[in-house]
Every structure is written in C-alpha cells, then in structure tokens.
C-alpha cells in the first residue's frame, strides 16, 4: 500500500471524459486520484493504493462494475472501502443490483458538482473535507476547466462519431449502443447537455423492439451536427 498522507480516490470508468472530470473535481480538495478503465485493473489498483473511496462505473470491458463490486466485498483488505457507483443507467433494477453487490450509493450520470460534494460529505465527513480543501476555484479557473473538458470531450469522441454513423448504417445495435451510452454519460458532464439529452432518447430507441432505424438515423444526424458545431467552435 502506498501512503502519501492525502485522501486517495480510485475512479474506475472506461470514459476518459468522466475520469478527467472527476480529477478536476477532486483537485479542489487536494485528493490524490488514481484511475482505471476496467474492473480487473481496478481491483489490482485498489490492492496497491487502498483508496479511501472508489467511484465505479457499471458498464466496462473485461469485468463490469457489478462483478468488481462482488470481488471487492469478499477480499478482506478491500471489503470495507466505500464504493460510489456512477452510471448512465440508474433504473430501479440497476440500482438494486449495485446496492445488493455492495455499493454504498448510486449516482446518475451526468455528474453534478453539488451531488458529488454531498456524497463525499456523507462518506468522508465534513471534517475531512474541510481539512483537505485547499482553496475555492476562481471564476477564471472554472472557465479554464470548462474549456479543458470541452476539448477533452472532442478528442475522446472525434473518431467515435464517424464510426457511429457507420454502425447505424449497418444496424449494429451493440456498437451503436456502446457509443451512444458513452455520449450520454459524458455530454452534459463536459458542458454539452443537449448531447446527453439526445443520446438518452437514442438509447431509449435502441431498447425498443423492433428498432426504428429511420429514427435512429435522424438522432445520428443530430449528434453529428452538434459534434461538427463543437469542432468549429474549438478550432
């Protein structure tokens, strides 16, 4: 176990945008943040760093969030670490599965700063937050972080958006769903709520049977247009 004297947080999520957003948020409290993109690596990182709290996504490659939770809760050295599940799908069924597997609480993506603060306060307590907090982020810093997030979002999805169009043409539900689900969780977090809004509608469409692929093409056109708008503003 590494000891630094700081509160340590492990973020396990396959979205680079979410990882980046949480790093920015925890910076205000001078927390040390470690990140992982899948459950198997997440378990190993938890063993190495023994974090004070884990933020865990449900949908991930190799080992999903529910299975990682189940493993954590049977490992003696890790079983008592608080786990906050963060998910773009917080249906009653998913929440119940997460709680039954050992989650302390479940938060819905997109993530909101005030909800994160409230959750940390409940898990770590006011005293630790007050002691860890270094300074309030200025308006200028907030603006810089906002621009960083928008750029990070663009870089993360610039290759996935063209791929989304191709998958829609092929009517490849699984591939389309994977990208749309990531957009849903990352859009509003990066400052693009309309992308999360349309991705949510798109995801609902993909869960219907049969899928209306004509409507799916319209949603895809909208997302492509919004992404082109983002590209023009950033370049």
82-137 per-position pLDDT tens digit: 999 998 887 888 899 999 999 999 999 888 889 999 999 999 888 777 767 665 66
Q: Is the pLDDT of residue 219 over 90?
A: yes
Domains of the chain in start order, with CATH, are 8-136 (3.40.50.2300), 144-234 (1.20.120)
* Residue 219 burial class via C-beta count within 10 angstroms: exposed 0-12, middle 13-18, buried 19 and up: buried
31-45 per-position pLDDT tens digit: 999 999 999 999 999
Q: Which residue has the higher pLDDT, 52 or 59?
A: 52
Name every residue whose Cβ is closer than 8 Å to that of residue 184 and which is 6 or more positions away in sequence: 88, 109, 196, 199, 200, 202, 203
The span from the CA of 34 to the CA of 42, in Å, is 9
Q: Is the pLDDT of residue 1 over 50?
A: no
pLDDT at res. 133: 66
pLDDT at res. 2: 45
φ, ψ dihedrals at 136, nearest 5°: -80, 140
Mean pLDDT of 53-77: 92
Q: What percent of the chain has pLDDT over 70?
A: 95
- Say what the pTM is: 0.84
pLDDT at res. 144: 84
135-188 per-position pLDDT tens digit: 566 777 778 888 889 999 999 999 999 999 999 999 999 999 999 999 999 999
pLDDT at res. 140: 79
């Amino acid at each position: 176990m590494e000891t630094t004297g700081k509160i340590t947080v492990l973020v396990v999520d396959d979205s680079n945008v979410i990882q980046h957003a949480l790093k920015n948020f925890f910076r205000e409290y001078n927390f040390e943040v470690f990140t992982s993109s899948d459950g198997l690596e997440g378990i190993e990182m938890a063993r190495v760093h023994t974090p004070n709290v884990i933020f865990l996504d449900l949908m991930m490659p190799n080992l999903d969030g529910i299975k990682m939770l189940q493993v954590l809760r049977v490992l003696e050295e890790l079983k008592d670490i608080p786990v906050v599940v963060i998910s773009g799908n917080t249906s009653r069924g998913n929440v119940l599965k997460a709680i039954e597997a050992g989650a302390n609480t479940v938060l819905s993506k997109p993530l909101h700063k005030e909800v994160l603060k409230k959750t940390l306060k409940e898990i770590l307590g006011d005293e630790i937050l007050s002691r860890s907090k270094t300074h309030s982020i200025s308006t200028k810093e907030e603006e810089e972080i906002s621009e960083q997030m928008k750029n990070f979002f663009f870089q993360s999805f610039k290759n996935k958006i063209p791929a989304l169009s191709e998958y829609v043409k092929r009517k490849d539900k699984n591939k389309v769903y994977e990208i749309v689900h990531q957009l849903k969780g990352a859009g509003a977090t990066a400052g693009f709520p309309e992308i999360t809004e349309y991705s949510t509608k798109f995801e609902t469409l993909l869960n219907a049977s049969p899928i209306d692929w004509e409507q799916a093409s319209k949603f895809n056109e909208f997302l492509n247009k919004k992404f082109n708008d983002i590209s023009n503003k950033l370049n």
